Amino acid sequence: MKKTGLVFIVVLMVALSCAGPQEHPYEMTDRLNFYNWSYYIADETIPGFEEEFGVRVRYDNFSSNDELLAKLQAGGSGYDLIVPSDYMVEIMIRQGLLEELNFDNIPNIENINPRFRNMPFDPEGRYSVPYQWGTGGLGINTRYVTEEVTSWDVLWDERYRNRISIIDNMRSGLVPALIRLGYSINTTDPDEINEARDLMIEQKELVRTYSSETYIDLLKSGDIWIAYGWSGDIYQVARENPDVIYVIPEEGTYVWVDNMAIPKGARNRYTAEKFIDYVLRPDVGAGISNYTWYSTPNDVAKPLIEDHMLEDPGVYPPDEVLENAEFLQDVGEATRLFNRAWNEVKSH
Ligand code: N2P
């Protein structure tokens, strides 16, 4: 009897120690499930990692922070690596959706510009590593829009009926209206949010599509003449259609930084940390920025960025433009108000 009990305990201990690595998978695995924004990586980034580390990467795309959050909240996404924006990192930390990172596996964190470390959304920098940053602004097709555009007002200009696209999500979507009204993009005042909603509803009859992804092709083809979108996306269009330019409106805009993070319970954590470290290498980081036209937070990668990008104030805006640009922040309870306002714009 006694002996059977002992055997049972030994078997149990062996079983538990086998289960260990699954709960704390701090070893290289042969899989990585990576969920990133669309149009946000260089062609060679993933194949380079796969070849060097013998890992197969499943790569899927999303086009808004809300889509990413919904996927994580639903559970069982299977993703090991995600790229939430600043304010969404804050929300995910608060909801317990992220793993703490083991920086022993990410020594290249040293390459990140100190300005981008320990930002307010992750004050101790325990959960996130900056990936790329950029601004919101206007993509203008100068073949059809021949006047000089300097203001968000153009989104309300009747002459461009059916030639306008707007970013499709509750926080970014309301930005042009909030800025035009002179309010903070992080307002929690219901009246201000509703005023912004009304302004976007007023503008709606001019809108061809609400999109954070397909607008790229529509701007390229000339179907859309004015796109409210993100800097790198619009520069990627301009690379193929030289009539297109990127404009940061003079009233100001918003700036963001997207960050690599690991979802709670991810199976391939160590592999994800190795991938993060790989992205932080100067050549890999610069490869991504040179391809996407987004801005790098990596000081060591910066010398490898193409000169014309470094010199372009749309890609690396001067300090006075950045000082006049807010980051989106987690607005807590007021998220509900933004959600409702945006649904009302969309369903109007
Ligand atoms: C890439 C968009 C990333 C910018 N298409 C949004 N934070």
Q: How far is the CA of 212 from the centre of ligand 1 (A)?
A: 8
pLDDT at 18 over 50: no
pLDDT digits (tens, 9 = 90+) for 136-184: 999 999 999 999 999 999 999 999 999 999 999 999 999 999 999 999 9
Q: Token pair of 327, please?
A: 């980051």
For the domain covering 134-255+318-347, report its CATH number: 3.40.190.10
Residue whose CA is at the smallest distance from ligand 1 atom 3: 37
CB of 291 shorter than 6 A to ligand 1: no
Where are the chain's structural domains? 27-133+257-310, 134-255+318-347
Q: At what angle do helices 282-292 and 269-279 cross, to 10 degrees?
A: 70
- For residue 10, what pLDDT band results from cuts at 50, 70 and 90? low
pLDDT at 306 over 80: yes
Spatial distance between the Cα atoms of 103 and 98, rounded to a whole number of angstroms: 15
Q: Show the CA angle centred on residue 145, arms to residues 142 and 146, nearest 5°.
A: 75
CB of 61 shorter than 6 A to ligand 1: no
pLDDT at 21 over 60: no
Positive or negative torsion for Cα 293, 220, 138, 149? positive
HSE, side-chain direction, 13 A CA sphere, residue 76: 1
Q: Which of 328, 258, 284 is nearest to 116 (CA)?
A: 258
Region 4-32 average pLDDT: 60
pLDDT digits (tens, 9 = 90+) for 28-62: 999 999 999 999 999 999 999 999 999 999 999 99
Which atom of ligand 1 lies closest to the CA of 216?
Answer: 5
Which of 258, 288, 289 to mutate for ligand 1's pocket (most ligand atoms within 8 Å of CB)?
A: 258
What are the φ/ψ torsions at residue 11 (nearest 5 degrees)? -60, -40
Spatial distance between the Cα atoms of 87 and 313, rounded to a whole number of angstroms: 24
Q: Which pLDDT score is estimated for 26?
A: 74
Which of 66, 83, 233 to mutate for ligand 1's pocket (most ligand atoms within 8 Å of CB)?
A: 233
Measured in whole angstroms, the distance separating CA 3 from the mean position of its chain's CA atoms is: 58
Q: Token pair of 206, please?
A: 């001019």
Which of 230, 237, 292, 293 to mutate for ligand 1's pocket (most ligand atoms within 8 Å of CB)?
A: 230
pLDDT digits (tens, 9 = 90+) for 201-234: 999 999 999 999 999 999 999 999 999 999 999 9
The single-letter DSSP state of residue 295 is B
CB of 39 shorter than 6 A to ligand 1: yes
CB of 85 shorter than 6 A to ligand 1: yes
Q: Which pLDDT score is estimated for 148?
A: 98
CB of 40 shorter than 6 A to ligand 1: yes
Spatial distance between the Cα atoms of 29 and 101, rounded to a whole number of angstroms: 17
CB of 38 shorter than 6 A to ligand 1: yes
Q: How far is the CA of 292 from the centre of ligand 1 (A)?
A: 10
Which atom of ligand 1 lies closest to the CA of 233?
Answer: 5
- For residue 27, what pLDDT band results from cuts at 50, 70 and 90? confident
Domains 27-133+257-310 and 134-255+318-347 share a fold: yes
Beta carbons of 210 and 173 less than 8 angstroms apart: yes
pLDDT digits (tens, 9 = 90+) for 75-89: 888 999 999 999 999
Residue whose CA is at the smallest distance from ligand 1 atom 4: 230
DSSP β-bridge partners for residue 247: 138
Element containing residue 129 per DSSP (H, E) = strand 129-141
Q: What mean pLDDT is reported for the chain?
A: 94
pLDDT digits (tens, 9 = 90+) for 244-259: 999 999 999 999 999 9
From the candidate CATH numbers 3.40.1160.10, 3.40.640.10, 3.40.190.10, 3.90.1150.10, the one assigned to the domain spanning 27-133+257-310: 3.40.190.10
Q: How far is the CA of 37 from the centre of ligand 1 (A)?
A: 6
HSE, side-chain direction, 13 A CA sphere, residue 167: 25
pLDDT at 22 over 50: no
Dihedral through CA 297, CA 303, CA 305, CA 308, nearest 10? 120
Q: How far is the CA of 230 from the centre of ligand 1 (A)?
A: 6
CB of 256 shorter than 6 A to ligand 1: yes
